[in-house]
């Protein structure tokens, strides 16, 4: 099934500060879409609105005809979301947490068992399944959050810096899974600070800066619009953060004195 996610004049304010400023964007199914941006640029807010976790102040996000503000409960059924920091119930075990997620999402028990077993094997979580989540490492918690978001085989998968803390094997498995996910006509939207991951994985990219989208397109589109040839330099260029050598020189001087 083909569908699209559209953000129309999307604005989000927290008190006096504007996190998102009149965003317009379209993401089609079958794509891995990357959101890049420096800290505080509004990436997490944007992803949370798509996932129906936050409401926008004005403007809307539509997943086909579903409005993420008004149809939040339906949106949450078709979206899987991995937050930036996995805030899971620390007194539950990963197994209990996954049982909880599957129950609340109403997943068929047989399908759930099969998926959970496969995911836990793939991410090497089997040995930690019956330990309290509170005692697990950050990376292991991240794995639990990722599996929890993928259990119901969502139409849209939203991941906020999900590669953080994952070991190389799990990171590779997740990247492969995301590509496969998109190839099945689903949509993956994710944010990252790791440019290599974005270059490797994304069909399209958007760079968010101070709540606005300053550039958007395929990697080739971004390269053709810039004199730089790698994503990191393009990113630093468009976000006005390319005075790195000057900053480093100043730091060196400061350290000497």
HSE-CB of 128 using CA atoms within 13 angstroms: 22
Regarding 91 and contact with other proteins (CB under 8 A), the answer is: yes
**Using CB under 8 A, which residues numbered 8 to 67 contact other proteins?**
14-15, 51, 53-55
- Closest residue by Cα to residue 42 from 62, 22, 61: 22
One of 5, 102, 147, 207 touching other proteins (CB under 8 A): 102
Regarding 156 and contact with other proteins (CB under 8 A), the answer is: no
Regarding 100 and contact with other proteins (CB under 8 A), the answer is: yes
Regarding 173 and contact with other proteins (CB under 8 A), the answer is: no
Q: Is the dihedral of CA 167, 172, 173, 174 positive or negative?
A: positive
**Using CB under 8 A, which residues numbered 178 to 197 contact other proteins?**
none
DSSP for residue 133: G
Piece in contact with other proteins (CB under 8 A), picked from 26-34, 105-113, 202-210, 219-227:
105-113
**What tokens were used for 41?**
């640029």
One of 88, 178, 189, 198 touching other proteins (CB under 8 A): 88
Regarding 96 and contact with other proteins (CB under 8 A), the answer is: yes
Regarding 98 and contact with other proteins (CB under 8 A), the answer is: yes
Least separation in angstroms between residue 172's CB and other proteins is: 25
Q: Which residue has the tokens 């968010």?
A: 208
Comparison of 15 and 168: residue with beta carbon closer to other proteins? 15
d(CA 198, CA 183): 17
Total residues in contact with other proteins, by rule CB under 8 A: 43
- Closest residue by Cα to residue 43 from 220, 173, 161, 128: 161
Regarding 112 and contact with other proteins (CB under 8 A), the answer is: yes
Regarding 129 and contact with other proteins (CB under 8 A), the answer is: yes
To 5 degrees, how large is the angle CA 254–CA 242–CA 232?
120
- Closest residue by Cα to residue 12 from 39, 35, 42, 53: 42
């Amino acid at each position: 099934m083909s569908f699209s996610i559209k953000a129309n004049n999307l604005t989000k304010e927290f008190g006096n500060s504007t996190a998102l400023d009149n965003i317009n964007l379209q993401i089609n199914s079958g794509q891995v879409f990357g959101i890049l941006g420096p800290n505080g640029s509004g990436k997490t807010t944007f992803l949370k609105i798509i996932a129906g976790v936050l409401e926008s102040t004005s403007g809307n996000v539509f997943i086909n005809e579903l409005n993420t503000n008004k149809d939040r409960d339906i949106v949450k059924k078709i979206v899987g979301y991995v937050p930036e920091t996995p805030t899971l119930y620390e007194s539950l075990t990963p197994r209990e947490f996954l049982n909880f997620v599957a129950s609340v999402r109403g997943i068929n028990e047989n399908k759930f068992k099969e998926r959970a077993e496969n995911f836990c094997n793939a991410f090497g979580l089997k040995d930690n399944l019956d330990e309290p989540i509170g005692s697990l490492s950050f990376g292991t918690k991240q794995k639990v959050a990722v599996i929890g978001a993928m259990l119901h085989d969502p139409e849209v998968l939203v991941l906020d810096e999900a590669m953080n803390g994952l070991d190389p094997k799990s990171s590779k498995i997740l990247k492969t899974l995301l590509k496969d996910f998109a190839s099945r006509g689903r949509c993956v939207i994710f944010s990252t600070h790791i440019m290599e991951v974005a270059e490797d994985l994304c069909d399209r990219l958007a760079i968010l800066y101070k709540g606005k989208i300053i550039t958007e397109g395929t990697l080739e589109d971004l390269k053709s619009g810039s004199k730089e040839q790698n994503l990191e330099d393009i990113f630093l260029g468009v976000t006005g953060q390319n005075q790195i050598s000057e900053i480093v020189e100043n730091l060196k001087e400061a350290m000497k004195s």
